[in-house]
Amino acid sequence: MQNTTVFIIDAGNSSIKVARFELDQLMEVQRFPSDELSEIKTFIRDNDGQYAVSSVLSKKDTDEIVSTIPDILLLETDAKVNLTINYGTTNTLGMDRLCNAIYAYNRTKSDYAVVVDIGTCIKFDIVHKTDGYIGGSISPGIQLRYNALNDYTGKLPLLSNKTQAELVGTSTNLSIQSGVMNGIGAEINGTMDQYRKRFSSLTFFVTGGDAQNFDILTKNDIFADKNLTLIGLYEIYQQNA
């Protein structure tokens, strides 16, 4: 009998996420440090099931994970998917963006669906029910903006505060926090409004580790799922297993 347990591994630069699926249902998600591959390799050896990996790590580190046990399926952007890809540079299309597109495409009842992924980068990706994946946008996320202000100036400090900020910062730190957090919030809401004006019959899906830091879930055309990318990756696995 085929093993009904499937482990989906999303190996990112900051952490490695492992999602366990039982009978097509997501049961749990665990995280491991990306710089300690011994932990994820021990997990793979100790837990029976079918495995699929998507990785943005170096080829060496990716190969190390894939070689842990036989029959691990490595999923890349040339994997078989159930939608047309209308994108000029498919060789640089991130696997996370493809996973997000698959998730939205498989669920939307609208003509168009947009995934807003708020993490290391802020990504918008749009799909159409017949034209498939169209494209989107990428801009720096919270920490990248803090890093840039520190790296490219002589005196601005490096911050990491991700809480909501007052519009008017009354110190240098608070001014940086206001610029980054309020700037991102305005960017997200403004971009969503532009999508609404341009595309009729539109649904938004929101995900990403930093999505919780922004108040954007106030309209009935927006749905949130923190595990959206992992579920999309599982659905790509199903088409390629």
Q: How many CA atoms lie within 13 A of 222 on its CB side?
A: 17
Looking at residue 30, its pLDDT comes to 96
Structure confidence by residue, pLDDT tens digits, 107-144: 999 999 999 999 989 999 999 999 999 999 999 999 99
3-state secondary structure of 29: strand
Give the domains, in start order, of the chain with CATH numbers.
5-74 (3.30.420.40), 90-142+175-228 (3.30.420.40)
Residue 117 near residue 209 (C-beta atoms within 8 A): no
Residue 122 near residue 138 (C-beta atoms within 8 A): yes
Please state the pTM of the whole predicted model. 0.91
Spot the catalytic one: 35, 46, 61, 96: 96
96 a catalytic residue? yes
C-alpha span between 178 and 41 (Å, rounded): 41
153's tokens: 């100036």
Element (H, E) at 55: strand 50-55
Q: What is the DSSP annotation of 93-126?
A: --HHHHHHHHHHHHH--SSEEEEEEESSEEEEEE
Q: Which residues of the chain have pLDDT under 50?
A: 1
Looking at residue 215, its pLDDT comes to 87
Looking at residue 1, its pLDDT comes to 41
